[in-house]
Structure 1
Amino acid sequence: MKTSPKTEETVPPGGRELVEMSWDPITRIVGSLGIYCKIDFANREVAECYSTSSIFRGYSIFMKGKDPRDAHFITSRICGICGDNHATCSVYAQNMAYGARPPALGEWIINCGEAAEYMFDHNIYQENLVGVDYCEKMVRETNPGVLALAENTEAPHAADHGFRTIADIMRSLNPLEGEFYREALAMSRVTREMFCLMEGRHVHPSTLYPGGVGTVATVQLFTDYLIRLTRYVEFLKRVVPMHDDLFDFFYQALPGYEEVGRRRVLLGCWGSFNDPEHCDFDYRTMSDWGRRMFVTPGVIVDGRLVTNDLVDINLGIRILLGSSYYDDWAGQEPFVTHDPLGNPVDIRHPWNQHTIPHPQKRDFTGKYSWVMSPRWFDGADMLPLDTGGGPLARLWSTALSGRVDIGYVKATGHSVQINLPKTATRPEKTLEWTIPTHNGQPLSNALERNRARSYFQAYAAACALHFAEQGLAEVRAGRTQTWTPFEVPEEAISCGFTEAVRGLLSHHMVIRNGKIANYHPYPPTPWNASVRDPYGTPGPYEDAVQNTPIFEENRPEDFKGIDIMRTVRSFDPCLPCGVHMYLGGGKELRKLHSPHAFGPA
């Protein structure tokens, strides 16, 4: 945690004493995410928060002029964690542009690969990164009173996961030495092998192409996949009840903890796992085949499903500059005026975006981040959607739509039922994720984002069983073709929609003269880490941290910021998790006139 010396200001009657604190970088890979806060220790809450990114990538710039067939190879390098999600989304966009419809077997293989990626990434993040926030060592440092209670609280599902008390669960999550920490790390290898069976290489696929895949499909391929999947299903029968016990305990031990990381329910899911029986990648039929995905797309506002139509979702996307380091492109000629159905396309839609970087000094009253402000326009408001870390939005949207019913999983309209079959040492088990509420109101907070991550691993595993069975059926029927030929048109506009591990992902492409004229990938992090928009609306990280209550027992001089970190990490940002903290001698109490004055007066 780094803090800067500031001058003390006079406080008017009724003013609040705030301490400025920053966590910068919060890093796992690149270290470009920073969280800047003002904390009101007297009232035990965060008064103000700013999310910053100090890195500029520029993929939308150097994609111009490239051969469209290279798009998935290039864009998979956007991320070293979810590169396959980018490759998949790019392939979807290319399929639309080329009019390519992969054989069913090719789509089942892609679905198997993506399901394995969800399991791999969610497992390693939940147990080896987020889990550390709730482990015995961390709780001992930040809430020793909670740990004392955990020692004497029996775990309700001990028979399922094997840990007698909540404190035993916490000890199992201690980094490197904890039993469950080590087991989860070992299991991550199993899911990574599953992915490589289907797409050749993790995390940048080597057999994924527009028109299908280059994977040689055999009975042995799917058998090898299913052997590993069955091991993971058995593991999940412990994972879900263990996390239910842990997260439920925090609600009991710390009354009011439901407010940590809570924000208005504004969730976006772009859908995942195409059904090859219905998906032809034609924009004109996208409303229908989008709704038939095995993870149903949707926009959720205040707990209500606003739309699950991918055409509506596409047309509602707006890219606002807000407090980001870019110049406006409003005066530029649009690339696209109407979509293939004749609907008008806004100048702030990704098809029409220009990326014009304007580096400058960080100023929290002006520009302060390289992340723009993606919003979804509902016809009246620019909504700062978040992804709920990915799983919360996916399960919520799928549950409300009530369209999925494939035996292993069923959406009921208010929940998602997950049926895990019998495995080597454990009987079949049915899990049910239910839309979270508190006092009758829909609830999106830190604990529920994390809980959904455990349930969605089970959902992905159950779907993968279906996908592998369908793939085997194709092979046994002799339908072994996995790729279909295509031609690159001279002119085209297209889009791809899927879910990256941590949430909604779209790729928008414009082809002119056979080359890429415009290309904009929008992964979940720009949505979650977006900055204040031109209307002053904060982005989801900022919004979720602001007004979050502080339950940490440490005094300001020893403050770890665990409730803030749990909030940010519940979104599974692509940039955290080792927090570099520096207390130094520069921190001092600031007395502020205005809750909006951040930095020198």
Structure 2
Amino acid sequence: MATITVIDPVTRLEGHLKIKVAVDTVNGVQQVVDAWATGTLFRGFESILINRHPADAQHITQRICGVCPVSHGLAAVMALDQAYGITAPANARIMRNLVLGANMVDSHILHFYHLALPDFINGPDMPPWQPSWQVDKGRFSAGQTSTLVSHYVSALDMRRKAQEMGAIFGGRLPHPPTYIPGGFTTRPTSAMISQFKTYLSEITAFIENTYIPDALLLASLYDDYKGVGGGYGNLLAYGVFDLDAAGTNKLLRRGRTINASPDVQPVDVNAISEQVKYSWYNDRTDNLNPAVGVTTPQYPKNSRSLMRLMKANPQNLSLFGAYSWMKAPRYEGLPYETGALARMWVNGDYKAGVSVMDRHLARAYETLKVAEALLAWVNQINVNGSVAVSGRVPETASAIGLTEAPRGALGHWLQITDGKISRYQIITPTCWNASPRDAAGIRGPIEQALIGTPVQDVNQPIEVVRVIHSFDPCLSCAVHVMRPGEGKKIFTLHHSHGVEESHDHEHGHDHVH
């Protein structure tokens, strides 16, 4: 009989995520046979935007997340540009790219060294490395471990410099106020350009000489993880970093592929829907395209009798009701993975495979690709050129802003009525990746990627955490305040570097925000 293991919360990610896995022995190997991903936080940013001035969107949506706020600001102004019928001048397009690129470089360095790497090495016997779960012995030598720990510290400095680099044009990071409909508020100077290039030179050297070699070392010593965490292989990218005024050409192009096919297909935004059968939202909002989507929370959604049946039969999917604050985005009814691997695959830059290690390697290579592009873009700035054009708020309009956050495809759907926001829907990368099951019972990408993951110790399932972290989840972006319920449950608290503790709490109280 399968053992049910719960990791709640999963740490070293942004937001609140619970993972439940069923572990059983198959063909002599103890492995994950089923999985459930639960977003345990409701925020309601989409509802906050209703009846506000459209220009508020880029400021409010950036507060969804402090790790990847720039992409939300960009998606919002892209939608507003479309709604207003205006095109940002070249300088604005370039500076939008520069600030987003700095944020992406920062985020990727953060992910590898500070969020994912501790899953694979035994750090010093001191906080924040201790207490921890025991990782595989003998893979890294003592010298290699010492070097990686020193790079962990160096990466903190590189992250700071990437933030400061982005703030040169963004005004501040996180939450730059400089993204506006029709352009950018910063007037560039030669001094700004020079300072940006100084930062970029040091950061690029770190990527080339430290980050990529470390990622390659990890992949060589954990070569078996090129066969773990594959999932469906359905990859989706909206494209990012416009190279022309129309946004037709991008550094990383738009596209999708099914089952890790080398063939890239176009993206039709009308084929996207959000399902809520297993989410805490009213069923009347099920299977809607985000252009007409509605966010109506309903918690609790399941009757108490159903909840009791679920607890008694945790693997009987026919009894399973809502279990997440995340909706289930689908493209033509299929789940899709998004992120650096999807972008690099669609762009033709990386097609070695889909797995835990492939995600880490694709992210490292993408970091260098973006850094090299930043140098080309900053050299294109015209200090005497315009930075913005004016536009009038339309009485009625519908628009879409599609871009890429560090973690994957990000879409903002906007509707304006009587000059105010009347509808705003957001689908984030982690909403795609960590989605629950859909109406057909099809698992979300992370849930599917966990299937078949070998687990040596069900009490310390570090292998499960490695798969989860490879997606770099951001739950504050993905979820749309849980209330106290009844009954008791045992939850596992997974500290910053891995120790687990079992706590007996009233169900729901540990998730009230």
Name the TM-score class by shorter chain: 0.7 to 0.9
Q: CA deviation at 1:180?
A: 0.6
Q: How many aligned residue pairs are there?
A: 461
Matched position secondary structure for 1:359: coil
Matched position secondary structure for 1:224: helix
Letter in 2 for 1:482: V
Matched position secondary structure for 1:527: helix
- Residue deviations 1:107-141, cap 9 Å, x none? 10111111101101111121112111122348992
| C-alpha distance in 1 between matches for 2:443 and 2:497 | 23
Q: 1:584 to 1:516 in 2, by over 3 A?
A: closer
Q: CA deviation at 1:453?
A: 1.3
Q: Which residue of 385, 388, 392 maps to 1:483?
A: 388
Letter in 2 for 1:71: A
| 2:435 corresponds to 1:435 | no
| C-alpha distance in 1 between matches for 2:325 and 2:499 | 22
| 2:438 corresponds to 1:533 | yes
| C-alpha distance in 2 between matches for 1:450 and 1:384 | 21
Answer yes or no: is the 8 Å Cα contact 2:327–2:435 preserved in 1: yes
Answer yes or no: is the 8 Å Cα contact 1:23–1:581 preserved in 2: no
Answer yes or no: is the 8 Å Cα contact 1:259–1:548 preserved in 2: no
| 2:343 corresponds to 1:357 | no
Q: 1:210 to 1:87 in 2, by over 3 A?
A: same
| 2:213 corresponds to 1:241 | yes
Q: CA deviation at 1:302?
A: 2.0
Matched position secondary structure for 2:193: helix
* Residue aligning to 1:385: 336
Aligned 1:211-226 pairs, distance under 5 A: 211-226=182-197
| C-alpha distance in 1 between matches for 2:77 and 2:254 | 18
Q: Which residue of 165, 177, 181 maps to 1:206?
A: 177
Q: CA deviation at 1:276?
A: 3.0
Q: CA deviation at 1:277?
A: 4.1
Matched position secondary structure for 2:449: helix
Q: CA deviation at 1:582?
A: 3.7
* Residue aligning to 2:56: 70
Letter in 1 for 2:255: G
- Residue deviations 1:172-227, cap 9 Å, x none? 33xxxx21111111111110011101111111112111111111211111111011
| C-alpha distance in 1 between matches for 2:133 and 2:50 | 52
| 2:427 corresponds to 1:470 | no
| C-alpha distance in 2 between matches for 1:219 and 1:582 | 52
* Residue aligning to 1:26: 10
| C-alpha distance in 1 between matches for 2:261 and 2:3 | 38
Letter in 1 for 2:51: G
Q: Which residue of 238, 250, 258 maps to 1:270?
A: 238
| C-alpha distance in 1 between matches for 2:61 and 2:503 | 43
Answer yes or no: is the 8 Å Cα contact 1:296–1:308 preserved in 2: no
| C-alpha distance in 1 between matches for 2:464 and 2:133 | 17
Q: CA deviation at 1:537?
A: 0.2
Q: CA deviation at 1:59?
A: 1.6
Matched position secondary structure for 2:8: strand
Q: 1:269 to 1:577 in 2, by over 3 A?
A: farther
Matched position secondary structure for 1:543: helix
* Residue aligning to 1:9: none
Letter in 1 for 2:414: M
* Residue aligning to 1:135: 121
Answer yes or no: is the 8 Å Cα contact 1:169–1:246 preserved in 2: no
Aligned 1:315-464 pairs, distance under 5 A: 315-329=270-284, 348-360=288-300, 365-377=320-332, 382-387=333-338, 390-399=339-348, 416=349, 434-436=350-352, 443-464=353-374
Q: CA deviation at 1:34?
A: 0.2
| C-alpha distance in 1 between matches for 2:122 and 2:370 | 29
Answer yes or no: is the 8 Å Cα contact 2:88–2:245 preserved in 1: no
| C-alpha distance in 1 between matches for 2:362 and 2:277 | 31
Q: CA deviation at 1:584?
A: 4.4
Q: 1:182 to 1:110 in 2, by over 3 A?
A: same
Q: 1:494 to 1:35 in 2, by over 3 A?
A: same
Q: CA deviation at 1:169?
A: 3.0
| C-alpha distance in 1 between matches for 2:502 and 2:413 | 46
Matched position secondary structure for 2:9: strand
| C-alpha distance in 2 between matches for 1:522 and 1:140 | 34
Matched position secondary structure for 1:533: coil
Matched position secondary structure for 1:39: strand
Q: CA deviation at 1:264?
A: 2.3
Percent same amino acid among aligned pairs? 29
| C-alpha distance in 2 between matches for 1:204 and 1:169 | 37
Matched position secondary structure for 2:391: coil
**TM, length-normalised to structure 2:** 0.85
Q: Which residue of 70, 84, 88 maps to 1:98?
A: 84
Q: CA deviation at 1:18?
A: 1.8
| C-alpha distance in 2 between matches for 1:492 and 1:535 | 34
| C-alpha distance in 2 between matches for 1:303 and 1:366 | 31
Q: 1:192 to 1:186 in 2, by over 3 A?
A: same
Q: 1:305 to 1:59 in 2, by over 3 A?
A: farther
| C-alpha distance in 1 between matches for 2:120 and 2:496 | 15
| C-alpha distance in 2 between matches for 1:356 and 1:44 | 40
User: Gaps (5+ residues) in structure 1?
Assistant: 1-16, 152-166, 280-288, 332-346, 400-415, 417-433, 437-442, 587-601
Q: Which residue of 514, 528, 532 maps to 2:419?
A: 514
- Residue deviations 1:39-69, cap 9 Å, x none? 1256321111100111111122221111111
Matched position secondary structure for 2:152: helix
| 2:270 corresponds to 1:301 | no
Q: 1:217 to 1:52 in 2, by over 3 A?
A: same
| C-alpha distance in 1 between matches for 2:495 and 2:425 | 27
Letter in 1 for 2:222: F
| C-alpha distance in 2 between matches for 1:585 and 1:108 | 51
Letter in 1 for 2:416: I
| C-alpha distance in 2 between matches for 1:370 and 1:328 | 13
Matched position secondary structure for 1:470: coil
* Residue aligning to 1:569: 469
Letter in 1 for 2:436: V
Answer yes or no: is the 8 Å Cα contact 1:21–1:36 preserved in 2: yes
Answer yes or no: is the 8 Å Cα contact 1:491–1:511 preserved in 2: yes
Matched position secondary structure for 2:134: helix
| C-alpha distance in 2 between matches for 1:326 and 1:579 | 33
- Residue deviations 1:476-515, cap 9 Å, x none? xx3x210110001111110001101111100000111111
Matched position secondary structure for 1:22: strand
| 2:99 corresponds to 1:113 | yes
| C-alpha distance in 2 between matches for 1:219 and 1:370 | 47
Letter in 2 for 1:354: V
Matched position secondary structure for 1:81: coil
Letter in 1 for 2:258: V
Answer yes or no: is the 8 Å Cα contact 2:264–2:346 preserved in 1: no
| C-alpha distance in 1 between matches for 2:432 and 2:7 | 20
Letter in 2 for 1:80: G
Answer yes or no: is the 8 Å Cα contact 2:83–2:397 preserved in 1: yes
Aligned 1:57-206 pairs, distance under 5 A: 57-137=43-123, 141-144=134-137, 146-147=138-139, 150-151=140-141, 167-173=142-148, 178-206=149-177
| C-alpha distance in 1 between matches for 2:231 and 2:418 | 46
* Residue aligning to 1:6: none
Answer yes or no: is the 8 Å Cα contact 2:105–2:367 preserved in 1: yes
User: Gaps (5+ residues) in structure 2?
Assistant: 124-128, 315-319, 476-493, 505-513
| C-alpha distance in 2 between matches for 1:277 and 1:488 | 21
